[in-house]
Amino acid sequence: MERDLSGVFSHPLSPPPYSSLHLTSHQVYERGTNVEQFVTRFLLKESANQIHSLLNSVESAVDAIDEQHCSQSGYPTKVSQRVPEKRYENPVTDYPPNNRVSAVKDAAPRNINTATVWFDLHQRLTDTDGTASA
């Protein structure tokens, strides 16, 4: 089990690939047709919802492990101190159909969060060898 977890975290993605992916996705979105933009927005919203669901599952697992550990070791069980962030409280909202992505320099503070979603989208749209899916 420990080996599996260390494999998951042994190759973290650093900000430069995220930034590059964000910039590339931004350019592709801006040049895309209305249908391509719709598909991109749909995939991003779906990805964000799945990430939200995964976050909830991971937090529940952490709480269950903490509770089990506390009950086995004789320590009093603590109630989770985690406060959900505002962005995770509600599902992703719809965007206007012709909404354009803001300029990259305006999106700098959100690069890491946005890049995570773009990375997921990029993975879905490419094969394992890095070529675009048909």
The pLDDT of residue 3: 56
What is the C-alpha to C-alpha distance for residues 41 and 88, in angstroms, rounded to an integer?
18
Burial class (CB in 10 A: 0-12, 13-18, 19+), 25: buried
Q: What is the mean pLDDT of the chain?
A: 67
Which phi and psi angles does 76 have, rounded to 5°? -65, 145
Domain count, the chain: 1
Q: Residue 101: inside a domain, yes or no?
A: yes
What is the C-alpha to C-alpha distance for residues 21 and 105, in angstroms, rounded to an integer?
15
Q: Residue 1: inside a domain, yes or no?
A: no
Average pLDDT over residues 69-98: 59
Is 105's pLDDT higher than 50? no
pLDDT in tens, 115-125: 666 666 666 66
Residue 100: which domain range?
Answer: 34-124
Is 33's pLDDT higher than 60? yes
The pLDDT of residue 53: 93
pLDDT in tens, 50-82: 989 999 999 999 999 999 888 887 765 555 555
Q: Residue 2: inside a domain, yes or no?
A: no
More confident residue, 75 or 102: 75
Q: Residue 11: inside a domain, yes or no?
A: no
Q: Residue 9: inside a domain, yes or no?
A: no
Average pLDDT over residues 21-49: 80
Q: Which residues pair with 132 in a beta bridge?
A: 126
